[in-house]
Amino acid sequence: MLEKVLIANRGEIALRILRACREMGIKTVAVHSTADADAMHVRLADESICIGPPPARDSYLNMTAVLSAATISNADAIHPGYGFLSENADFAEMVEEHGFTFIGPSPDHIRLMGDKIAAKRAMRAVGVPTVPGSDDPVSDADAAAIADEIGYPVLIKATAGGGGKGMKAATSRDELKSALDLARAEAHASFGNSDVYFEKFLATPRHIEVQILADHHGAVVHLGERDCSIQRRYQKLVEEAPSPALNENQRREIGRVSSEAVRALGYRSAGTIEYLYEDGRFYFIEMNTRLQVEHPVTEMICGLDIVREMVRIAGGSSLGFTQDEVRFSGHAIECRINAEHPFTFKPSPGQVETYHAPGGLGVRVDSAIYSGYKIPTYYDSMISKLIVHGNNRNECLMRLRRALAEYVIDGIETTIPLHQRLIAEPAFVNGDYHIRWLETLVQRIGRE
């Protein structure tokens, strides 16, 4: 059993992990940059250590500083959260080499899934359908021929991709060269690797992903799917579980395919298999080898604490329940609340003057902000996640409408007005949307 966990993250996810540890009687160590000295995760942890100046590369991404903090505080494990070092296989390896437990999958699985071409090949080999496309990195010389073969529109994606970076669509041969140059430049700037591959660009799919838990002893369960089709610039803004697009048979089938793939790969810990879903068919796009931002919607419908399960698994425990024992109940929706202008998405950092979070039956707020908190400019703009549960989708929507109206965050602009607008749209109310629907809504709002 683990006794002390260092949380190598900040913001709401650091608090989320801290809360799970505290409930399990595990001590917590927060790390922080100088910009976060007053942050909530620092205030609530049992111990805290400053690991560097504000830029993430000098603090939250500084592996030596994080490992030194773990040594000094005598932690026995490190939870990386999401973002930062969470999908860095070298970091996971260093953590283990220094005698700490990494709360996540093996470095080999992180490495495999971090190379998106290798991940697609590995998934196909264990029976998972993938998006048609190039099976190798594409060279400038071969690009036109490969795109012709796939057929336009093609999507250019970074092999080291993440967060929608290095992703550009080309609708014709004329656009290919400039899209390719842009994608390579962005991939190089974001990942230090300009390799790209091509995929058939699906027109109006949904993004549906399956949450997996697997232990060291071969047990694998899936916790159902999440629909994350409400996106802008390839980034998720609203997530829900279950997906309004699937029937029971489809749900069971994609859950089974995902569990079997994970079992065949010998994966352990929490993980998410992401698919695009169009015309009744699933196409694997990537696997995230970490806790995801949107994990709470799954927790709300199956009554499990995914972070606690990750910690238990990392400590060597067995899952302790079977697929048949996973019970799904009701519907959950998450709204990501960002410090941004609701319709132009221009960042709006600054000081939160008044903060009042909604509450009541079925309402959960995962956030680390408070009245008087100054949002630093250095990090992600997401400041809160509002998660609402109801006995069915309609009750969930009614509750979400009520909770959004109650939420007060003064002093900065937030995406709350966009959420209010989008949940009033008939298409959303009917569950009838796809990954490009939000973009068209935002354009429509812009013209009004």
State the catalytic residues: 290
Q: Which is nearer to ligand ADP, 7 or 246 (CB)?
A: 246
* 162 is a site residue for ligand ADP (CB under 6 A): yes
Could you tell me how far CA 362 lies from the centroid of its own chain? 22
Specify the residue, 286 or 309, whose C-beta has the smaller distance to ligand ADP: 286
Q: What is the footprint of ligand ADP within residues 374-403 (CB under 6 A)?
A: none
CA distances from 419 to 292, 339, 404 (A): 20, 13, 8
- Write the interaction track for ligand ADP spanning residues 232-261; mark x where CB under 6 A is met and - where it is not: --x---------------------------
Q: What is the DSSP string of 361-406?
A: TTEEEEE---TTPEEPSSS-SEEEEEEEEESSHHHHHHHHHHHHHH
DSSP state of 347: B
Least distance between ligand ADP and beta carbon 154 (Å): 9
**Nearer residue to ligand ADP within complex by CB, 131 or 212:** 131
The nearer residue to ligand ADP, 164 or 431, going by C-beta atoms, is: 164
Is 114 a binding residue for ligand ADP by CB under 6 A? The answer is: no
Please report how close the Cβ of residue 129 comes to ligand ADP at its closest, in angstroms: 13
Nearer Cβ to ligand ADP (201/428): 201
User: Of residues 86, 231, 258, 381, which one binds ligand ADP by CB under 6 A?
Assistant: 231
Binding residue (CB under 6 A) for ligand ADP from 36, 199, 240, 309: 199
Query: Does the protein bind ligand ADP through residue 274 (CB under 6 A)?
Result: yes
Distance separating alpha carbons of residues 110 and 248, to the nearest angstrom: 31
HSE-up (13 A, CA, CB side) for residue 337: 24
Of 36-44, 170-178, 197-205, 364-372, which segment contacts ligand ADP by CB under 6 A? 197-205
68 CB-contact burial (10 Å; exposed 0-12 / middle 13-18 / buried 19+): middle
142 forms part of the interface with ligand ADP (CB under 6 A): no
Directed axis angle between helix 107-114 and helix 116-125, to 10°?
Answer: 100
Answer for which of 6, 123, 202, 287 binds ligand ADP (CB under 6 A) is: 202
Among 13, 180, 210, 435, the residue binding ligand ADP under the rule CB under 6 A is: 435
**Least distance in angstroms from the C-beta of 235 to ligand ADP:** 8
Considering CB under 6 A, how many residues would be counted as binding ligand ADP? 19
Residue 143 is a binding residue for ligand ADP (CB under 6 A): no
Structure tokens belonging to residue 324: 């048949």
- 161 interacts with ligand ADP by CB under 6 A: yes
Q: Provide, for the chain, the percentages of residues in helix, strand and coil under a 3-state DSSP scheme, each rounded to the nearest 5.
A: 35, 25, 40
What angle is formed at CA 252 by the lines to CA 211 and CA 210, rounded to 5 degrees? 15
Does residue 110 bind ligand ADP (CB under 6 A)?
Answer: no
Among the listed ranges 156-164, 246-254, 346-354, 425-433, the one in contact with ligand ADP (CB under 6 A) is 156-164
DSSP state of 230: E
Cα-Cα end-to-end distance for the chain: 58
Answer yes or no whether residue 347 interacts with ligand ADP by CB under 6 A: no
155 binds ligand ADP (CB under 6 A): yes
Supply the minimum distance, in Å, between the C-beta of residue 234 and ligand ADP. 4
d(CA 252, CA 330): 16
CB 435 within 8 A of CB 228: no
> Do strands 196-200 and 220-232 pair parallel, antiparallel, or not at all (unpaired)?
unpaired
- Amino acid at residue number 30: A
Supply 124's token pair: 């196909």
Spatial contact of 238 and 227, defined as CB atoms under 8 Å apart: no
Q: Out of 163, 303, 359, 372, point to the residue binding ligand ADP (CB under 6 A).
A: 163
Residue among 91, 102, 201, 345 that touches ligand ADP (CB under 6 A):
201
- Residue 309, class by beta-carbon neighbours within 10 Å (0-12 exposed, 13-18 middle, 19+ buried)? buried
Binding flag, residue 151, ligand ADP (CB under 6 A): no
Between the alpha carbon of residue 204 and those of residues 41, 302, 355, the distances in Å are 39, 29, 38
CA distance 16 to 41: 9
- Does residue 320 belong to the site contacting ligand ADP (CB under 6 A)? no
CA gap 34, 53 in Å, rounded: 5
164 binds ligand ADP (CB under 6 A): yes
Report the residue number, 353 or 439, with the smaller CB distance to ligand ADP: 439
Element holding 288 (H helix, E strand): strand 281-288
Nearer to ligand ADP, 41 or 434 (CB): 434
Q: At closest approach, how far in Å is the CB of 49 from ligand ADP?
A: 31
Binding site for ligand ADP (CB under 6 A): 131, 155, 161-164, 167, 199-202, 207, 231, 234, 274, 276, 285-286, 435
